[in-house]
Amino acid sequence: MTILDYLIFALYMAGVLAIGFYHFRKNKSTEDYYVGSRNIKASHVGLSIVATDVGGGFSIGLGGVGFMMGLAGTWLLFTGLVGAWLTAVFVIPRIKAIDADKNFFTYPDFLRNRYNGKVALLAAIISGIGYLGFTGAQLLAGAKLASATILPKSPFGMDPILFALLVIAVVTILYTVVGGLKAVIYTDTIQWVILLSGLIFVTIPVTLFKIGGISALTETLPKEYFSLGNITAVKFINWMVTIIPIWLIGMTLYQRMYACKDEKQAKRAWYIAGIFEYPIMSFTGVFLGMCARVVFPEAEAEMALPMLVRDILPIGVTGIVIASYFSAIMSTADSCLMASSGNFVNDVIERYFIKNISAKGSMRLSMLATLIIGATAVIMAAQFEMVLDAILYAYAFMVSGLFVPTLGAYFWKKSSCAGAFAGMISGGVLTLLLLTKTIALPGSLARIGLDASFYGIVLSAAFFIVFSLTMPDKLKNEDKTIKNNEVNS
């Protein structure tokens, strides 16, 4: 990078931070801060969903997948299209009907309304921990990008990625402390348009010109890289099982549902998000990963794309594209930090430990919680080498415990509090034990290759159904009818 690139990078980041501070000064209540006053337009919400879901982490992860397996890697974000559109059709009409009366702030608020406080508390803990891990994944993505571009050498003799991780963490946590959902969504819109435009209209044409066109790809890369079928059934199932359910349980997604004015706006936002994830971003990221393999065949898979951006793009453009990557990473980390902080502060601390706290005290508590969660996320990020692994681990932990009880809350009238609690505990614990290798699957199951979350979901479903049928909620018939009608209206 040249001095001009560094200058553009600095000015761009200053502009993004200025937007964040502008909206922070306009926040007057917790409703402004957490759900954007419930009147944000579908276009902004849709692009913010993509920026949060795909972000810099998945963008770099996509490049790594393209580097390793070619066009078949696009199936990774096909899961985003499926998840977004299923949510628009089946979930949003139900949640917006309830939200209109209840004025929810968090995902556990919905479960508290459908089940009880104990279920909501457990969901808040699982969601908070899961988003903590996802935040760590984004910080790791930023560190990898920084170490390959603007910080190739550490000034203190530290490992470059570790040093970059600390730098990115400090900037991200400071931004998050002063931000709010409006700041996140509007900066997401700007930076996502810039990032996508920079990749499609500048990075791809320039890269193809430098490497010698499509013919260079076809001559250099293995033939299977150009086939969408270059993927095993097990890997495809793992991606579907791990990622699609997140659309039903994601705290960041519920905040954006609540931020939309009505059902129509929310559904439009989710349709926009789906089409941007697949095919637009999926093929863009994977294709650039394939190009990066031609230029840097010996590079580590997820480092090749940042190196490509650093070395191929013209002076000035490099700074803009890298700044866009950083801002996308920061926005995803910002959203995840807000989600994790919101779970712990609103659904745990203020509900069970510090009640009747003032608005000013609540803001200070949120800032402190964000700082602690951010520091913990840095420690977690240092334990992973692959960004995609960190993301999928965080997803797997949340999905295995929360998916089935949440699905039941929407669509099964016999769902009970005992069933939901048992399903969350069993699915989450089994997946955690398998991921940490505390226990191992029997040889025959291990050889199949399915992710731990698959077995967690299966166990969660078994416990959820059995406990719901054997330990139904003790409600009067008329109260139970009213409760079920709230969910199924």
For residues 388 and 204, the model is more confident at 204
Residue 184 has a pLDDT of 73
Question: ∠388-392-398 over CA atoms, to 5°?
Answer: 155
- Going from N- to C-terminal start, the domains of the chain cover 3-388
Calpha distance 285→424 (Å, rounded) = 34
> What are 350-365's pLDDT values in tens digits?
899 998 888 778 777 8
Written as six digits, the tokens of 261 are: 């004015």
Q: Note the pLDDT tens digit of each residue in 412-433.
A: 999 999 999 999 999 989 998 9
SS3 29: coil
The single residue listed with the structure tokens 């003799």 is 157
- What phi and psi values does residue 386 have, to the nearest 5 degrees? -110, 125
The model carries a pTM of 0.85
Q: What is the mean pLDDT of the chain?
A: 84
Q: Tokens 């049928």 appear where?
A: 469
Question: Is residue 336 predicted with pLDDT exceeding 80?
Answer: yes
Task: Tell me the per-residue pLDDT of 389-416, one tens digit each, with 9 for 90 and over.
Answer: 666 677 778 889 999 999 999 999 999 9
Residue 478: pLDDT band by 50, 70, 90 thresholds?
A: very low
Please report, for residues 129, 201, 225, 267, 396, the alpha-carbon distance to residue 74 in angstroms, rounded to integers and kept in the order given: 28, 19, 11, 24, 20
pLDDT band (50, 70, 90) for residue 20: low
- Whether residue 101 has pLDDT greater than 90: no
| CA 23 from centre of chain | 22
CA–CA separation, 223 and 210 (whole Å): 21
CATH code of 3-388, in short, is 1.20.1730.10
What mean pLDDT comes out for the span 66-77?
96
Angle between helices 42-53 and 55-69 (to 10 degrees): 50
pLDDT at 257 over 90: yes
CA 100, CA 464: separation in Å to the nearest integer?
Answer: 29
What are 301-320's pLDDT values in tens digits? 888 888 888 788 887 777 77
- Which DSSP string corresponds to 296-336? -TTS-HHHHHHHHHHHHSPTTHHHHHHHHHHHHHHHHHHHH
Query: Count of CB atoms within 10 A of residue 417's CB?
Result: 22
Q: 40 φ, ψ to 5°?
A: -85, 140
If one compares 180 and 81, the residue with the highest pLDDT of the two is: 81
Closest listed residue to residue 63, CA positions, set 288, 227, 291, 236 = 288
Q: What percent of the chain is predicted at pLDDT more than 90?
A: 44
Residue 240, SS3 per DSSP: helix
Q: Which residue has the higher pLDDT, 52 or 128?
A: 128
Higher pLDDT among residues 236 and 144, named by residue: 236
What one-character DSSP code corresponds to residue 36?
A: G
Structure tokens at 114: 């459908």
Contact 208, 214 (CB under 8 A): yes
> Residue 480: what pLDDT?
45
